[in-house]
Structure 1
Amino acid sequence: MIGGLLVSGVASAPAWAQRDTGEINDEIEETDQNLTAAVEEYNQLAQEAQDNRDMIAQTQESLDSAEADLDSLRSQLADYITATYVDQGIGDAALLLESGSPDAFVERLDRLNSANLYSFDLLDELKTASEEYTTQLDLLEDLQADLDEQEAELKQRQDELNARMDDLEEEWQAAAGDAITDYDLPYMNDDEYAVVSFALDQVGKQYVWGTAGPDTYDCSGLILRAYAQIGIELPHNAAAQYRETASISRDELQPGDLVFYNDLSHMGMYIGNGLIVHAPNSRTVVKVVELDHGNVWYGATTILH
């Protein structure tokens, strides 16, 4: 097959993409842990806040009921006093003494005292209950204000962590390289074509650590399986593959050669015209990217030349 140089409009990776992907992944994991903790803390606080709102509602109901009973009792007592002292003309001791027979006076006085004593006792009891409910409601509302403030702070923290995670995901993707789908391949011999075409057939399949096909791959697993197509066995480890193959310079790269990055923590396969195919990381899929795509160059080796 004959191909020309790829014309690509892909911009160079931003400066921050030059961090080792292992370092990026460590921060992603730490940020994810912090985010998970913040979410759980928020969920717990949200439950506490809801429980507190329920208590506020219950206390408000009790307060409303106590105040309604208090108002009713006040009204009844006012009506009773009015009926007894005004309607019946009993305004002072002299009127009581002049109010009929001694038996009638004693009976009226007993009724009045009994009603007053009962009413005043209940009135005091209801006042106490109302004051207690009001105090409790004030405390609960103060607590709710604190909970609302804590909720807002946790929500802001979540938003900040989510924003940071988005940045890290973008950085990770940049380190994995922007996928290239329109490219030409140079002439290849049979072995080169066998390993390269197999690797390219895996494009789009998900990265899963520790796997070597047929449906998922990690970086060394992709190379291992590609070379198995021509009967060559390789270890399932990037550093081990580097040690067991012959080192070459970048200028010597040919299709099928191995390329290594990030202090041997990542690798891919050169396919020609300045491109490689690799299984980047768990947040993306097998894809074709530029040789200098964001991961930090380490070296290259060959098996076929």
Structure 2
Amino acid sequence: MGPDMHTVRAGGRGILATAVTVVCAVTVLAAPGAAFAAPKPTPSPGASASAGTSASVTVVPDKDLEAVRDKLDKLYHDAAVATDAYNAAEEAAQKQSAEIVGLAKKIVKGQQRLDELKERAGRAAAAQYRTGGLPDSAKLMLSDNPSEFLDGAGRVLQGERATKALIREVTRTQQDLKQYAADAADQWNRLEAGRKAKAAAKKKITQRIAAAEKLESTLEKKQKERLAELERESAYQAQTAWLDTGILDDIHSKASAAGKKAVAFATAQLGKPYVWGAEGPDSYDCSGLTSQAWASAGKPIPRTSEEQWKQLRHVDVKDMRPGDLIIYFDDASHVAMYIGDGAIIQAPRPGRTVSIGGAGSMPILGVVRPDA
């Protein structure tokens, strides 16, 4: 037992040191600050160039405004996709950080248990040494009271069984510590990979928004007004086409109690600015608004529109009710909350505020229900 206990002691110090290091590092990575902030992007020539935009400083002719609108839609859509990736990486990092801290606590607790077991094993070994030396047959011949000897032999047998159980527990604790350390290392690698993914998404977001802002800055006032008019016309035409299908004739479901709370929360955010990566209370991105609205109703849901589409129950459009979430575009890159009468509340995109719009103004992927 001596060499084994020495190995346990040496290994334990290494595992405990690893646990302390992991906790300290995770505390730094998970601390609120610049790493999780959503700073307002600043347009720059470098960012625009790296985003691959061909915007120039010349004034765009009116006949080209449709092309400009298409370009802006693509830039903001790319920013929305990257925002979803950023939010997913942040959500995963929070879970992984908590998991690492939990594993580190298990390592510390396991090391304390191992120290206790080692102390018990040492006491058992010392007792065995003091009472050992003669074989059982010799002890029986020299004993004045055979019954006492037999009683003692029974206690020795019990002690041997206890010792074996102790050894098994020591072995099991060592194995647990190794597994905890391996799991912590795996979560750490995931955390680091997520950090890189989040940094890449953040870079893409700022590039796309900067490129869009620069493109818009080339327009004259009247052109900007005409561009806004084109956007409204496009949304109106899409909403009209959707309503002309008679869809509202089939939608009669009333909001659930939780759905009413979610709608009330979302409504109270009207007018607050869109900020990518934000989930309140002063600003929101699209899924930040919907996830916080349902959290306020006592029903936590995934943070991103993609995960909301993947994890929440799908319902038919004709069966949707106020509070349900409408997922838009083939890549599930946008989400809004249905509030009834063919309308939605949404955080649209950078430069806009939380507002009411038409449910059919964008291509609908499907509808999900948080409180199914």
TM bucket, shorter chain: 0.3 to 0.5
- The TM-score, its normalising length taken from structure 1, stands at 0.47
Higher percent of residues as helix: 2
